[in-house]
Amino acid sequence: MEDFDYEQEALNDIDYRSNNKGPWKKIFKTVLLHKGIAIGLVSSVIFLAVLDVCYPLLNSYAIATYFESDNPNRFDTIWLTVSAYIGVSFAYGICVFSFLFFAGKVEIETSYELRKEAYLNLQKLPFSYFDKTAQGWIMARVTSDSRKLSEIISWGCVDLLWGILSMLGILGVLLVVNTMLSIIVLVILPILILLTLIIRRKMLSSYRDARKENSKITAAYNEGFMGAKAIKSLVIEESCSKEFHSKALAYKKASLRAVFFSAIFGPVTFILCYTGVGVTLYFGGNMVLSEILEASVLYLFIDYTIKFFDPVIAISRVIGDFQQAQASAERIISLIEEEPEIRDRVDVIEKYGTIFEPKIENFEPLIGEVEFKDVTFKYAKGEEVLKNFNLHIPAGSSVALVGHTGSGKSTIVNLICRFYEPTTGDILIDGHSYKDRSITWLHSNIGYVLQTPQLFSGTILENVRYGKLDATEEEIKNALKAVAADEFIAKLDDGYQALVGESGSKLSVGERQLISFARAIVADPKILVLDEATSSIDTQTESMIQRAVERVMKGRTTFMIAHRLSTVVNADVILVMKDGSVVESGKHHELLMKKGYYFELYKNQFAEDALQKILNN
């Protein structure tokens, strides 16, 4: 995989922000997929804000009625006041339960929808995307970014909505009760807004840096786990630890900057808020002493002033959280909205459907004729691998691709499988441009066996069934017998129902490769690609697989990328690749008689094999 450019990814994030209205429109559309839950959350928060406004009014009424009034009958209605307090208490309990319940559901549903959409889009993205994007980078988005975002969306929105509604309600009552004292609150409010805008940019920049460094750490974790055996065998534990430490230290520094700006935000707003309370108490107290204002009204103002700035503090905290969420939102939405470089045209989709909704009834049978017409191809940020490349392979032929690393062997099969598309030129399948038919149609007719077999957790039967989801148990067993896998399966305690373990860890490399072969042929593909499929197994297993391959190749167009030239001697045609061109072609014996490039490759490898046998003995 190409080195992942984190700086370029940061620039892509900036470009994403500058060319979109922002990720929040998409996020809130996701939240509103469950309108009933969203309405329940908003309703409970509205009622809570109303109660916050009403409660001080009830207290002020009680003070004015039972302590300031000289009316001898003032206690006659105390039972109504007590009932009102009890009713408000019950209402508070119901509202708090409701917003906790609905906020929790919003968090869960939002996280579910974001991860589902991200994973679905990952299925649409071509091989080239995964080839150039670090696994840890993707994992960080789908896991930590989506979790963090859903938490802030649910609980942050509760605090934000409650804060705004409470502020508006309180400000309205204050202006009605006493305009002069209300001015104190109105003077401090713009100062808070200004501070919010100043600190906002610093917080957002710091959190973006922290998220970028966190993705690097996730990628390093992933590489450390996947490459644990290589690290130990190379004795590079100290080097890897130092490299990881430098990444962790960079993340620590970025996080501390973010924490600093987030931490300074709260105290500044807190000081301003309670300065307003002190000023209100000073002027209001003088007005009470001058008998311009009643004590109950002063209590109301003090209570409301405190309650007014409480939501201001909450909002400032939420804004800080949203700055952190902004970075997560940008990343997860950019993944969800990542457009695949390789996709079907609109007219092709109308006829053949999509990868998730294929119109199988319109799929034409694939025969297996393959032709390259003036194909030029280069990888991103790379030089041309193929230039004006032409090749014609009749249906049912077995083709071997040999040559040194970088000669273009893998590029040819990747283009045939449409993991990549030609930069210029065209590839024909059965005489038609493969762009005129869907990617799903092509992939459903191709069996691909990788050099390193990839199995999924589950049973042997389940792993083979991935090659054809509607395959019967008999079809699966026949595929396993075709590649002689039934011999080792018979020795397992659970037979075909034996668990293979994570990535097939309970089986040997050869056994995993046999299952991989069976999975490739269970769907009876017309094109079979063997990407150095026998290079990682022992000689005995290779011989067994070779016999099985010769059987399953019949009637199929087969492309074999081979390192061991002994595995391709029976191919219909051998293409000898060098620097993106076919320098020799023919059958094994024909190429040996030419005594050219292939002859030298074969001679050198024969000498290596002979030497290895001597050393082994």
The span from the first CA to the last CA of the chain, in angstroms, equals: 38
| Residue 464 banded pLDDT, cuts 50, 70, 90 | very high
Rounded to 10°, the helix 179-226/237-289 angle is 170
Counts of helices then strands in the chain (DSSP H, E)? 22, 10
Between residues 41 and 8, which one has the greater pLDDT? Answer: 41
Q: What is the rounded radius of gyration, in angstroms, for the C-alpha atoms of the chain?
A: 35
* pLDDT grade for 31, boundaries at 50, 70 and 90: confident
Could you read off the pLDDT of 520-548 as tens digits, one per residue? 888 888 999 988 766 656 666 667 667 76
Region of poorest pLDDT, from 159-173, 305-319, 358-372, 393-407: 305-319
Q: What distances in angstroms separate CA 282 from CA 275, 288, 303, 309, one per listed residue?
A: 11, 10, 14, 17
Could you tell me which residues are beta bridge partners of residue 402?
576
Which pLDDT does position 19 carry in this prediction? 42
Kindly give the pairing relationship between strand 370-378 and strand 384-393.
antiparallel
If DSSP states are collapsed to H, E and C, what string results for 72-115?
CCHHHHHHHHHHHHHHHHHHHHHHHHHHHHHHHHHHHHHHHHHH
Nearest alpha carbon to residue 514 among 445, 474, 455: 455
Q: What are the Cα distances from residue 37, in Å, to 43, 49, 277?
A: 10, 19, 37
284 neighbors 164 (Cβ within 8 angstroms) = no
What pLDDT score does 372 carry?
A: 93
pLDDT of residue 428 exceeding 90: yes
Residue 611 has pLDDT above 70, yes or no: no
Q: How far is CA 11 from the centre of its chain?
A: 19
Find the DSSP H helices in 337-490: 346-352, 409-416, 439-443, 460-465, 473-482, 486-489
> pLDDT band for position 68 (50/70/90)?
low
pTM: 0.66
Give the pLDDT confidence of 231-267 residue by residue, as tens digits: 666 667 777 788 788 888 888 888 888 888 777 877 8
Spatial separation of the C-alpha atoms in residues 533 and 528, rounded to whole Å: 11
Q: What are 348's two structure tokens?
A: 């092709």
Give the DSSP letter of residue 499: B
Please indicate whether residue 445 or residue 314 has the higher confidence score (pLDDT): 445
Q: Residue 521 has which token pair? A: 């042929």
**Residue 570: how many CA atoms within 13 Å on its side-chain side?**
9
The answer to which of 288-292, 383-387, 432-436, 603-607 has the lowest mean pLDDT is 603-607
Contact assessment for residue 341 and residue 439, using Cβ atoms and an 8 Å cutoff: no
Copy the structure tokens of residue 295. Answer: 């004590």
DSSP conformation class of 338: P
Question: What's the pLDDT score for residue 569?
Answer: 83
At residue 559, the pLDDT reads 92
Residue 565: the pLDDT is 80
Distances (CA, A) of 33 to 37, 155, 546: 9, 18, 53
Residues 6+ apart with CB under 8 A from 368: 395, 396, 430, 526, 527, 556, 557
pLDDT the model gives residue 517: 85
pLDDT in tens, 357-396: 899 999 999 999 999 999 999 887 677 888 888 999 999 9
587 close to 571: Cβ distance less than 8 angstroms: yes
Length of the chain: 617
What are the tokens at 133?
């994007």
Residues 106-139: pLDDT tens digits? 888 888 888 888 888 888 888 778 877 777 778 8
Tell me which of 564 and 90 has the higher pLDDT. 90
Instruction: Compute CA distances 354 → 339, 364, 446, 467, whole Å.
Output: 15, 15, 17, 18
Mean pLDDT of 443-451: 86
C-alpha span between 148 and 140 (Å, rounded): 11
From the list 551, 538, 552, 546, the residue with the least C-alpha distance to 569 is 546
Task: Find the mean pLDDT for residues 200-214.
Answer: 76
